[in-house]
Amino acid sequence: MASATVRNVPLLDDDTIPFGEEDEMRDPSIAAQKYTHPYVTFFHLFFRGAAIVIYVFCGWFSDSFITSFVFVVLFLSADFWTVKNISGRLLVGLRWWNYVDDDGKSHWVFESKNSQTFQSRINKHEQRIFWLGLILCPLFWGLFFLVALFGLKFKWLLLVMIAIALNAANLYGYIKCNFGANKDLNSAATDFMKTQLFKNAVDMMTKPSTAPPPPTNVRPTGVV
């Protein structure tokens, strides 16, 4: 029987850096850089982007469905592991995972470092890229699902369903981490959209106007 929790449960034989303490070991001289984790940010987008590109253009390079299927699944698997275990932890301070206790019960853990000190170290550019990549790619796969369904391409439909499952798992997990494991998903999505709209509205109101001033000395071209 599975249950969801937000408790910090230690991993067995986990010799990695403790969750939330990654940036404490980082050189302070790189804190002012635009991207503090450039390689992580790159691979956060690379694997999922490569899977989409291969799916769209695989017919140009090979007529073998098996070859295309294998390469897309490999990139999707690499993306799932990278986003779940690395980029979410480093870019936004979120992590979700599963463990089985001594009674054989499966527990899903959704962790979030919400301390003010940690949040102040999160790079806003990387945070924006993380969420854009996490949300946009499932939308692309959803479009491919409709194309394959109405085109009666059932063998490609299986591949698209695998992609949707892997992408949706990470999206669902990180929404749970960000908004709380006990909150309804629809409510979380609504709160997320409200937050984004509010931020955009504030940016528009606080952004200085770049419109040129109206001319002051304009002489009429003709008088009736």
Contacts (Cβ under 8 Å, ≥6 apart) of 87: 40, 41, 43, 44, 130
In angstroms, the CA 145 to CA 55 distance is 12
Residue 176 lies in a domain: yes
Report the pLDDT averaged over residues 81-92.
92
In angstroms, the CA 119 to CA 139 distance is 28
Residue 98 lies in a domain: yes
Report the pLDDT averaged over residues 180-207.
56
Residue 219 lies in a domain: no
User: How far out from the chain centre does Cα 185 lie?
Assistant: 16
pLDDT band at residue 17 under the 50/70/90 scheme: low
Residue 135 lies in a domain: yes
pLDDT band at residue 54 under the 50/70/90 scheme: very high
- What is the reported pLDDT for 107? 86
Domain span at residue 68 reads 29-201
Look at the chain and report how many structural domains it folds into: 1
Indicate whether 195 pLDDT > 50.
yes
Answer yes or no: are the C-beta atoms of 182 and 4 closer than 8 Å: yes
Residue 22 lies in a domain: no
- What is the reported pLDDT for 69? 94
Residue 58 lies in a domain: yes
Residue 224 lies in a domain: no
Tell the burial category of 164 from Cβ atoms under 10 Å away from its Cβ (0-12, 13-18, 19+).
middle
Which 3-state string (H, E, C) describes 160-197? HHHHHHHHHHHHHHHHHHHHCCCCCHHHHHHHHHHHHH
pLDDT band at residue 9 under the 50/70/90 scheme: very low
What sign has the CA pseudo-torsion 16, 87, 183, 97?
Answer: negative
Residue 74 lies in a domain: yes
* Residues facing 112 on adjacent strands: 94
State pLDDT tens for residues 98-141.
888 888 888 888 888 776 666 667 888 898 999 999 999 999 99
In angstroms, the CA 69 to CA 136 distance is 22
In angstroms, the CA 125 to CA 121 distance is 12
Is the model's pTM score more than 0.85? Answer: no
- What is the reported pLDDT for 101? 85
In angstroms, the CA 157 to CA 147 distance is 9
Report the candidate in 35, 50, 45 with the shortest Cα–Cα distance to residue 135: 45
